[in-house]
Amino acid sequence: MSAAEPIPHPPGAALCAEGLCKRFGGLVAVDGLSLQVRSGEIFGLLGPNGAGKTTAIGMMTGLLRPDAGRTTILGMPVDAGDDGVRSRVGVCPQQIVIWPRLTCMEQLVFMGEAYDVPRGIAARRADELLSALGLQEKRDRLARTLSGGMQRRLSIALALVHEPDVVVLDEPEAGLDPQSRVLVREYVASLARGRGKTILFTTHNMDEAERVTDRVAIVDRGKLLELDTPDALRRRVGGGDTLELALSQDGKILSEESIRGLREALPGAQVDARGLVLRRRAIVEELPAILDLVRRLGLAAGRVQLRESTLEDVFLALTGRSLRE
Amino acid sequence: MRALAVFRKALREQLRELWLLALLLSLAPFFVVLFAVVFGAGGWSYRVVLVDHDEGALLADGRPLRAGADLAGAIAEVKNAAGSKPLRVVPAATHDEARAMLESGKAHALVEIPQGFSKALVAPPPAGASRPQLVYMGDMTSTSYMVAAVLAITAVSGYLEQAAGVRYPVELVEKPLGGSGGRSELDLALPGLFVFAVMLLIFPVAMALAREGESGTLRRLQLSRVTSFDLLAGLSLVQVLVGTAAVLLAYAAAVATGFRSQGPLWAGILVCVVATFSVIGVGLLVACFSRSVTEAFVLGNFPLMLLMFFSGAMIPIPKTPLFTLGSVTVGLWDWLPTSHAVSAMNKILGIGLGAGDCLYELVSLLLLSAAYFAAGVWLFRRRRLCAA
């Protein structure tokens, strides 16, 4: 796609990425990623470590130049580095990005001015953000004296001080304690629900994604695997219910032969030396047959857990259980 | 507006980085005081070790003549144009003792008065006969020897003219360039140190930008509407302020130790401000290759050493001529903008010359500073401010 070619931007889409590709040497970090984020929705970008989420975000916000593909935000191309786009997007990077030698207030006002927000208005917004994110008492403290969780919240506030229409948060809950997580989650949700902002965020935290997002995209090895609402993904990919069954063989872990036997008998099941995970609709009806199979293979059933599939089940079903890093 | 915001932010950060600020502001004044202690506020003192073998003689009226001792006194009384006495005479009993002092650096020159010195003055040897030899000795590669020897020879020459009743057919007259006649060595050494105060700015520039890169805040600024111009203008303005403050402090320290400027201070400040932009350019280049503050600090030492030693800021560097362009001789180190700054400062504040007398230095400083700054900005934008 040439730079001069107009980019289609579907109505109702706040962010539209088309065929994004990025390679670092021999590593393909992002491979033809296309997605649309609708105006006013909270969109989660999920994937294991090294899946290409941060690289994708970098390209979508103009920090990284894609090898191929384009992104438009609110109809404006991102790669042109247009000031109009910059003013309407707020980005909170994965790591804590603050100025340690400035106070919370000073850096928020500075960030506002960096987006041409008049000083007085920037100061008012800074105060609001500090209150909303529980940092009001630390208003005049140097950022380097704050705890890690407070610094993370300040880092998020810096992405919001210019009142962007589209907010991109790269793992905003990393390093936060449960109280802070809830605070940030509720504030981010209020931005979309109450003020019509569009939120795109990446996370490893499936619980967070499940609670907050309208839609999620699951990426792995730079490719988009699934994109839908959490409910639809649970039904479609998660199979509705999940059975987790702990198994042993003569009091020990399962042999290779038993694992093979279970995999052949239960297609789609994730089997390892300690048990199996099976996702199916109405799996409770299959449970007697599965327990019978276990007995026939000479295995002993341990703890049985039968529950509705979660987004984590969907995630693991799509990306596997093996460690990536 | 945005550049002003960057300026306010950078100024706050600079003021809160106290150890670096203290280093920047105090190092040049510290060296000023150190120079004053080492050189002495009154000027250099060259040590002349003197071996007097003279046996004396009787004048025609029967009075004794101790010409060796008189000459030693004449050497010690030599005055420079400032009125101070630059030679200190150290007596030695034997040639070997004097030579040992010369070799150990305790003396800059050796003067050995011959046995028949007085006799030769009373009764000069006839033409063709051998004459007693008054010997000078020293390290021919040492500028200190040369200065000491020239001053001692002047004293000897004057003494001989008077004692022997000889009148030279021409009078030797020394005229100082500009106000250099009344200058002490300290006066001439200090203007270079004012430029040194500015050279130290390599560190805050490189470290500030390396820190922005290391902490990710540079990326944050890239995503905002802050342009490269805003960022670098705001940062440069802070460094110009810090540099000016450092120069003023160094100047105050110099005045306190006896320095007397021959030119207007504002002209010196102007030269330093222009030089600051070249130093900022170098700082930007260092920042381009530094992934952390520590790297910036370590890497920054290399250009600092280069600028410090080869521009003559700390010690005088002989101008090694490369080629001549019209009336201008271009030297080996003329590609360093600070060389021209030091030279201009020496001419303006050191010997009181006007802008017309240092046109080459001023134009070169201006052009080189612009080139260094532009190179730094260009490379920094390419390496640090463009999307990867």
Residue B183 pLDDT class (50, 70, 90 cuts): low
B85 vs B33, more confident? B33
Does the CB of A114 have a partner CB in chain B at under 8 Å? yes
Rounded Cα gap, residues A22 and A59, in angstroms: 8
Using the structure block, give the residue that is written with the tokens 């009787």.
B58
Q: How do residues B34-48 score in pLDDT, each as one tens digit?
A: 988 877 644 567 899
State residue B91 phi and psi, 5-degree precision: -75, 145
Q: For the ranges A118-132, B150-164, B284-298, B336-350, which has the lowest average pLDDT?
A: B150-164
CB-based contact A93 B216, cutoff 8 Å: yes
Instruction: With beta carbons less than 8 A apart as the criterion, state whether B46 and B88 touch.
Output: yes
Of A44-58, A291-305, B79-93, the range with the lowest mean pLDDT is B79-93
A190-235 pLDDT, tens per residue? 999 888 999 999 988 888 888 889 999 999 889 999 899 988 888 7
CB contact under 8 A, A101 and B17: yes
> Would you state the pLDDT for residue A1?
43
Amino acid at B15: L
The average pLDDT across B316-320 equals 77
B chain contacts of residue A142, beta-carbon cutoff 8 Å: 16
Nearest to B81 by CA among B183, B1, B206: B183
Nearest Cβ partner of A114 from B12, B13, B221? Answer: B221
- Across the range A318-325, mean pLDDT stands at 65
Residues 212-271 on A with a CB inside 8 Å of B are none
In order, the DSSP letters of A142-183 are BGGGS-HHHHHHHHHHHTTTT--SEEEEESTTTT--HHHHHH
CA distance B219 to chain A (A): 7
Cα–Cα distance between A62 and A165 in angstroms, integer? Answer: 16
Residue A76 scores a pLDDT above 50: yes
Contacts of B13 in chain A (CB under 8 A): 99, 101-102
| pLDDT tier for residue A245 given thresholds of 50, 70 and 90 | very high
pLDDT grade, residue A325 (50/70/90)?
A: low
C-alpha angle B223-B227-B233 in degrees, rounded to nearest 5: 135
Q: What is the mean pLDDT of residues A80-103?
A: 86
Mean pLDDT calculated for residue range B251-263 = 89
Cβ–Cβ < 8 Å for A73, A168? no
The ipTM estimated for the assembled molecules is 0.77
Mean pLDDT of A3-7: 52
Higher pLDDT, B25 or A319: B25
Confidence band, pLDDT 50/70/90 cuts, at residue A323: low
CA–CA dist A136, A129 (Å, integer): 8
Residue of chain B whose alpha carbon sits nearest to that of A83 = B225
Q: Which residues of B touch A78 (CB under 8 A)?
A: none
Asked if residue B62 has pLDDT above 50, the reply is yes
A101: chain B residues, CB-CB within 8 Å: 12-13, 16-17
CB-nearest to A110 from B5, B219, B225 is B5
Residues 331-350 of B with CB under 8 A from A: none
pLDDT of B189 strictly over 90: no
Q: Is the dihedral of CA A199, A200, A202, A204 positive or negative?
A: positive
- Tell me the average pLDDT across B75-102: 87
- What does the pLDDT read at residue B151? 87
* Residue in B220, B229, B386 to test binding to A, most A beta-carbons within 10 Å: B220
Lowest mean pLDDT: which of A137-141, A321-325, B256-260? A321-325
Query: What would the pLDDT profile of A265-316 be if each residue is shown by its tens digit?
Result: 998 888 999 999 988 877 888 889 999 999 999 999 999 998 887 888 788 8
The mean of the pLDDT values for chain A is 88
Least confident among A19-23, B154-158, B334-338: B154-158
Q: What is the pLDDT of residues A125-176, one digit of tens each?
A: 999 999 999 999 999 999 999 999 999 999 999 999 999 999 999 988 888 8
Q: What is the mean pLDDT of residues A228-250?
A: 85
Chosen for mutation from A85, A101, A107 (greatest number of chain B CBs closer than 10 Å) is: A101
Nearest-Cα residue of chain B relative to residue A106:
B9
| Residues of chain A neighbouring B221 (CB-CB closer than 8 A) | 114
pTM, two decimals, is 0.75
Q: Residue B12 and residue A102: Cβ atoms within 8 Å?
A: yes
The pLDDT of residue B180 is: 64
Ranked by mean pLDDT, which of A220-234, A311-325, B146-160, B235-249 comes out on top? Answer: B235-249
**Interface test with chain A among B19, B223, B238, B386, by most A beta carbons within 10 Å:** B223
> In chain A, what percentage of residues exceed pLDDT 90?
60
Distance CA A107, CA A114 (A): 10
């276990």: which residue's tokens? A294
CA distance B174 to A78: 73
Write the DSSP string, B313-347.
Answer: SSS-----EEEEETTEEEETTTTSHHHHHHHHHII
Tell me which residue in B13, B217, B226 faces A97 most closely, judged by beta carbons: B217
Chain B residues in contact with A100 by the CB 8 A cut-off are 215
CB contact under 8 A, B13 and A116: no
pLDDT at A4 over 50: no
On whether the CB atoms of residues A111 and A165 are closer than 8 A, the answer is: no
- Residue B178: per-residue pLDDT: 66
Residue of chain A nearest B218, judged by CA positions:
A97
B5 touches chain A (CB under 8 A): yes
Asked whether the beta carbons of residue A63 and residue B224 sit closer than 8 angstroms, the reply is no
Give the span between the Cα atoms of B311 and A305, in whole angstroms.
Answer: 79
Most confident of A73-87, B12-26, B165-179: B12-26
For the cut 80, the answer to whether the pLDDT of residue A79 exceeds it is: no
B13 shares contact with chain A (CB less than 8 Å): yes
pLDDT for B40 equals 63
Cβ-defined contact of A81 to B387 (cutoff 8 Å): yes
- Give B-chain residues touching A61 at CB under 8 angstroms: 223
